[in-house]
Structure 1
Amino acid sequence: MSLFELRDVTVRFGGIVALSEVSLSVEPGQVHGVIGPNGAGKTTLFNVACGFVQPAHGTVLRNGRELGRLRPHHLPRLGMARTLQGLGLFERMSVLENVMVGADRFARTGFWSALFGLPRSARDDRALAERSMAALDRLGAAKYAELPAGGLPYPLRKRVALARALVAEPELLLLDEPASGLSAHEMDELGEVITELSGDTAVLLVEHHMDIVMSVCDMITVLDFGKVIAHGTPDEVRDDPAVLAAYLGEDTEEATSDADGDATDEPATARREAEHA
């Protein structure tokens, strides 16, 4: 039984089909990457997995059970956590307080206990803070715990957002473009973190940086114009003609060149025109 599955998912925005009968599954302990050219439907797929977008057709399943109308606030109780491109940190709160927000599912006291500062609320806060510090330490960010999140450099803020997701101890971690805005060295570090995390949690990774996808993923699903055009291991996907055609904008099997080495560029031109339409 798959840990998480999208089955024949179709999403429409007005007359535009963003996803067409897309299926994928994530197995326990697996890093599953989703890639594709701009406009391929990667973000829409991620939003379906998070509950931000409801499919017109198809099903979302967790441990083989259909989730129905999945919503973002359902994720913690389903053992799922996510990060977003926009990070979504509370910039005036400390790094530690931001991560504690993600640990809320472990809270044992309610609103009134916290409001009146009852002893059991203080004990609960200490327990959540300890969990949060452990998550920050795991990502090498514990020393920034007391600083305002908004004053940190972007790469460190990304670590804080990841720590906030990890502190919930998810079985499935959803990562949306985690390498965006990072240097080559920082992407290498991120790759090491994701590989290490896969020992505890499965990962669904939506990313456009091919180097990190090929280095950390066990399986890859490739989208183009809202459809799955390839699925397999990094080695299988890397040389797939359909994938090469999608990224290079030409039919790799039929492209020909003359004696001067010039090749037709009409398919590439057509793709550019379609993307800017």
Structure 2
Amino acid sequence: MQKPGGGNDLQTSPLFAVEGVSVRFGGVRALEGVSLEVAPHEVLGVIGPNGAGKTTLFNVVCGFVSPAEGELRLRGERIRDLRPHQLAGHGIARTLQGLGLFERMTVLDNVMVGADRLARAGFLRGLLGLGHRDDARLAAKAREVLGELGIESYAARYPGSLPYPIRKKVALARALVAEPELLLLDEPASGLSAEEMTELGEIITGLTERTAVMLVEHHMDLVMSVCHRITVLDFGRVIAAGTPEEIRNDPAVLAAYLGESVDDPEVPTGSTTDGDVVSTGSTTRGEEA
């Protein structure tokens, strides 16, 4: 995979910031004082063992969970009472672990669903008979994004008839068609082969020309290859933040991944302890908070 370049050229002013966010579910502390920043055109990785709070953090960013403390800022402005349906309006798009494609809609129609931010038809334009112009424009945009990902030939197909890696690309195309400033990728490498993961890494690296990326991923080889910076969570707290090299050699990160749980029988035998945090991205604790 191509190592991300231009790390020193990233703009210093953050595009998006999480500031002191805490989340509690009853007596369970899912996040505690979590802060991080994403610069324009940067790939920020968020990693940590299962139960570290990665999914909870993504759900806060997407408006599915309201924090007990802390705030979110986009372009320096505080985002108040964010709701999932408002993401596109703020220039944020997300892919889901479960893909979330509509099985009874074609690939093209699925991708067009993600273009709400670009649509201008609305009720009044519909009454004036102008909506079809937007439909044609959005369809053209959807085909363009599908072409960029090499899957335009599947535009008329239905998701259920496609191989899993192609469906993953359809989900990514649906997020990209809205032209987001911040793209949230939730476990994009899950279910992919080594060759497909290499291609995914190249795609993510290329995306920084148009958007910033916040990546939650278990596969450390992918994370280390594409991320400019990495934030590490453990038990709901940030335990480390820095460049891939800094994270790779951080004692707190090594302990979180490989400490007392290294002999856990559920850890795949492909995991290693010889310098990399983990080679397979497998984790050693219970379900994600």
Q: Give the TM-score category using the shorter length.
A: 0.7 to 0.9
Which 10-residue stretch deviates more, 119-128 or 199-208?
119-128
Report the AA paired with residue 244 of structure 2.
P
Percent identity reads 65
Find the partner of 1:191 among 185, 197, 201: 201
Find the partner of 2:116 among 97, 104, 109: 104
Q: Deviations over 1:188-238 (max 9, x none)?
A: 110000000011100000111101000000000000111111000000000
Find the partner of 1:122 among 104, 114, 132: 132
Find the partner of 1:206 among 204, 209, 216: 216
Partner residue of 2:47? Answer: 35
Find the partner of 2:155 among 138, 145, 163: 145
Partner residue of 1:239? Answer: 249
CA–CA separation in structure 1 for the residues paired with 2:14 and 2:224: 22
Once the two structures are TM-superposed, the CA of residue 113 in structure 1 deviates from its matched residue by 5.6
Once the two structures are TM-superposed, the CA of residue 70 in structure 1 deviates from its matched residue by 1.0
Match of 2:130, SS?
A: helix
TM-score (norm 2): 0.84
Partner residue of 1:257? Answer: none
Partner residue of 2:5? Answer: none
Once the two structures are TM-superposed, the CA of residue 275 in structure 1 deviates from its matched residue by 3.9
Partner residue of 1:61? Answer: 73
Partner residue of 2:278? Answer: none
| Pair 1:133 & 2:133 matched | no
Once the two structures are TM-superposed, the CA of residue 250 in structure 1 deviates from its matched residue by 4.0
Once the two structures are TM-superposed, the CA of residue 111 in structure 1 deviates from its matched residue by 4.2
Q: Deviations over 1:141-165 (max 9, x none)?
A: 1000000122211111110010000
Once the two structures are TM-superposed, the CA of residue 124 in structure 1 deviates from its matched residue by 1.4
CA–CA separation in structure 2 for the residues paired with 1:89 and 1:178: 14
Find the partner of 1:2 among 14, 19, 25: 14
| Pair 1:86 & 2:98 matched | yes
CA–CA separation in structure 1 for the residues paired with 2:235 and 2:31: 8
CA–CA separation in structure 1 for the residues paired with 2:123 and 2:217: 38
CA–CA separation in structure 2 for the residues paired with 1:75 and 1:245: 36
Once the two structures are TM-superposed, the CA of residue 119 in structure 1 deviates from its matched residue by 4.4
CA–CA separation in structure 2 for the residues paired with 1:208 and 1:19: 19
Partner residue of 1:75? Answer: 87
Match of 1:29, SS?
A: coil
Find the partner of 2:56 among 40, 44, 53: 44
CA–CA separation in structure 2 for the residues paired with 1:24 and 1:55: 15
Does structure 2 conserve the Cα–Cα contact (< 8 Å) formed by 1:90 and 1:150? no
Report the AA paired with residue 234 of structure 1.
P
Partner residue of 1:228? Answer: 238
Runs of at least 5 residues in structure 2 that lack an aligned partner in the other structure: 1-12, 263-282
TM-score (norm 1): 0.88
Task: Quickly say closer, same or farther: Cα 1:127–1:242, change in 2 above 3 A.
Answer: same
CA–CA separation in structure 1 for the residues paired with 2:102 and 2:236: 33
CA–CA separation in structure 2 for the residues paired with 1:226 and 1:123: 47
Task: Give the CA RMSD over aligned residues.
Answer: 1.9
Partner residue of 2:280? Answer: none
Greater Rg over alpha carbons, structure = 1
Once the two structures are TM-superposed, the CA of residue 177 in structure 1 deviates from its matched residue by 0.5
Once the two structures are TM-superposed, the CA of residue 39 in structure 1 deviates from its matched residue by 0.7
Once the two structures are TM-superposed, the CA of residue 17 in structure 1 deviates from its matched residue by 0.2
Q: Deviations over 1:8-63 (max 9, x none)?
A: 10000110000010000000010000000111111001111111111000111111
Report the AA paired with residue 229 of structure 1.
I
Partner residue of 1:256? Answer: none
Find the partner of 1:175 among 166, 174, 185: 185
CA–CA separation in structure 2 for the residues paired with 1:153 and 1:16: 39
